[in-house]
């Protein structure tokens, strides 16, 4: 239950996973959730399927465990993550189920928005005009431009 002493070489203050620097004092599940495209639940499922304790600190991960995490992130279907947990199911062009992380995710989202604008769908028009896209109300929120107050009566 008490703290055990490890040498400095076994603990890393910063660990690089999938192109992201993660502080070593975070638990594995929370640290993986810092990667864009990986949420906490996805990180928990990933840890359990590859046999890493999600409550372990990231700084104590071995090189082989980090490699297992990176290979699982690059192809989550191969380790048994169900397709419904992926963030890009039935890709528009390829039709494959994929899970995108980091810069790939940003690139694909921008490309999707550009496609919507090009085909002039309702969502594309809303994106182009800088308005709310997902059906939110706009009577009082989402206003842009200078803030104008109301003059007080004296």
Q: Which two tokens stand for residue 42?
A: 């996805």
Q: Where are the domains of the chain?
A: 14-85
Question: Which residue's structure tokens are 């896209």?
Answer: 133
Residue whose tokens read 């104008």: 148
| Confidence band of 21 (pLDDT split at 50, 70, 90) | very high
Task: Evaluate if pTM is beyond 0.75.
Answer: yes
CATH fold for domain 14-85: Helicase, Ruva Protein; domain 3 (1.10.8)
* 3-state SS record for 89-110: CCCCCCCCCECCCCHHHHHHHH
Dump pLDDT digits (tens) for 23-52. Answer: 999 999 999 999 999 999 999 999 999 999
């Amino acid at each position: 239950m008490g703290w055990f002493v490890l040498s400095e070489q076994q603990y890393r203050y910063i660990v690089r996973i999938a192109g992201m620097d993660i502080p070593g004092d975070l638990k594995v599940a929370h640290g993986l959730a810092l990667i864009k495209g990986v949420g906490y639940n996805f990180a928990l499922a990933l840890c359990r399927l590859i046999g890493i304790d999600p409550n372990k600190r990231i700084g104590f991960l071995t090189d082989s465990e980090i490699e297992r995490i990176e290979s699982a992130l690059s192809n989550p279907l191969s380790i048994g993550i169900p397709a419904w947990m992926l963030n890009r199911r039935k890709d528009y062009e390829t039709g494959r189920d994929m899970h995108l992380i980091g810069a790939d995710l940003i690139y694909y989202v921008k490309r999707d928005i550009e496609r919507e604008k090009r085909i002039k769908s309702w969502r594309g028009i809303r994106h182009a005009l800088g308005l709310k896209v997902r059906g939110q109300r706009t009577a009082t929120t989402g206003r842009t431009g200078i803030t104008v107050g109301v003059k007080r009566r004296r």
